[in-house]
Structure 1
Amino acid sequence: MRVFAALGRYIDHADPATRIANSVALLVGSNGPFYPAYVWYLAPEAGPVSLATMAASPFFLAIPWLSRRSAVAARVALPVVGIANTVWTAALLGPATGVAVFLFPCLLLAMLSWREKTAMFVLLGAGLAAQQALLRWPWPALSGLDPMVQGNLVALNAMSVGALLAVLVASLAGLLRDHDVADGRGTPP
């Protein structure tokens, strides 16, 4: 239980949007080591190369630390690291794995910086540009996987993104509900 209390303190922040960003960063960063295991199971040929996808985990895990220095930087860092990780994973495993769907949570995360309109629009633009680049990816995957094997990973990536989007939407809904209650427009849960 002490570990959970320490993790709670690590992601805590006075700004609710930053607290959500910290929670998501911790969730994604801590799940980074499991992704290669799933890939290895579904596409053993990609197993060794998929270990390189864990390279982004330390960056995700550092976002709550960054939030202590700058809440804006932390909210910006999360979609930036997510976009970079998505492009990196596509380069490793191939765009036919459907990994580009991870850009959708990145776009939603860009909305967490809604108070910083310039940051929000730059991040949204970066996410959409990355999506277009992955749709037109001209190079073979570094793993050398053929498209049939890459296709085995589409369901994994779709399920992962669905779960992540559910967490994000639930977190944002809670933030909006809490805001409405604080403004006297809603009822407490």
Structure 2
Amino acid sequence: MRQLKRVSAAIGAYAAHPDPRAAIANTVALVIVSNQPFYPLYLYWAVSPAIAPSYVTFLSTPFFAAVPAAMRCSPLFGRSLLLLAGIGNTLLCRVAFGTGSGVEAFLYPCLMLALMLFRRSERLFALGFVALAFIAYLLPAALLGTPLHLYEAGEYAALQRLNFLSAASLTALIGWLVAARLDTISRSDETTEASGA
């Protein structure tokens, strides 16, 4: 129990940041890291024993895990890294599972993060990541190639449900985290604008 508390405290310290937007991004990144190992299990239980395509999600794990470290170097870089990892992982999963998988639903939390993590003075970054998410969605299926595994129609329906529920849960978490820090985000913006004036 004591060891578990130490690990929890270490993770909390790693995610902590004085900038509320950076702290939100860090929390989201580490929640994704903690959930990625379970995605193949969810796939096995809810969709099919053919879980090999889900292993590609682990390619993005080091990038999500590095977000808090990157945030210490530069909050702008850390927030950008989170979005690049999220959009890149979604695109990679589109290639692995195919367009019928509904994995594109993970672009919704990416869009939400793009619009909420950047200040007014950083709106070009926000718009750039929004555009990148739309490009990832609009890429033609023919350009992505053949999926790593072709599932049955019923399995694709189950995969769509799984991906929708996962993406919706992540979007709800982001909304909850932002709502809980609205006051500190507003004060942070006022401080930043005052110091830049």
> How does the TM-score come out when normalised to structure 1?
0.88
- 2:118 is matched with 113
Aligned with 1:144: secondary structure? coil
Q: CA separation in 1, counterparts of 2:179 and 2:59?
A: 31
1:179/1:76 Cα in 2 relative to 1: closer, same or farther (>3 Å)? closer
- 1:187 is matched with none
Shift of 1:179: 4.7
Kindly indicate whether the alpha-carbon contact (under 8 Å) linking 1:106 and 1:127 is maintained by their aligned counterparts in 2.
yes
Question: What percent identity do the matched residue pairs reach?
Answer: 33
Alignment partner for residue 156 of structure 1, among 162, 168, 192?
Answer: 162
**1:88 and 2:98 matched:** no
Alignment partner for residue 140 of structure 1, among 122, 136, 146?
Answer: 146
1:20/1:179 Cα in 2 relative to 1: closer, same or farther (>3 Å)? closer
Residue identity matched to 1:66: A
Shift of 1:146: 4.2
- 1:186 is matched with none
Q: How many residues align?
A: 181
Q: What are structure 1's unaligned runs of at least 5 residues?
A: 184-189
- What is the CA RMSD across the aligned residues, in angstroms? 1.9
Residue identity matched to 1:170: W
- 2:76 is matched with 72
Residue identity matched to 2:12: G
Shift of 1:155: 0.9
> How does the TM-score come out when normalised to structure 2?
0.85
Q: What are structure 2's unaligned runs of at least 5 residues?
A: 191-197
Alignment partner for residue 122 of structure 1, among 120, 125, 128?
Answer: 128
- 2:103 is matched with 99
Aligned with 1:145: secondary structure? coil
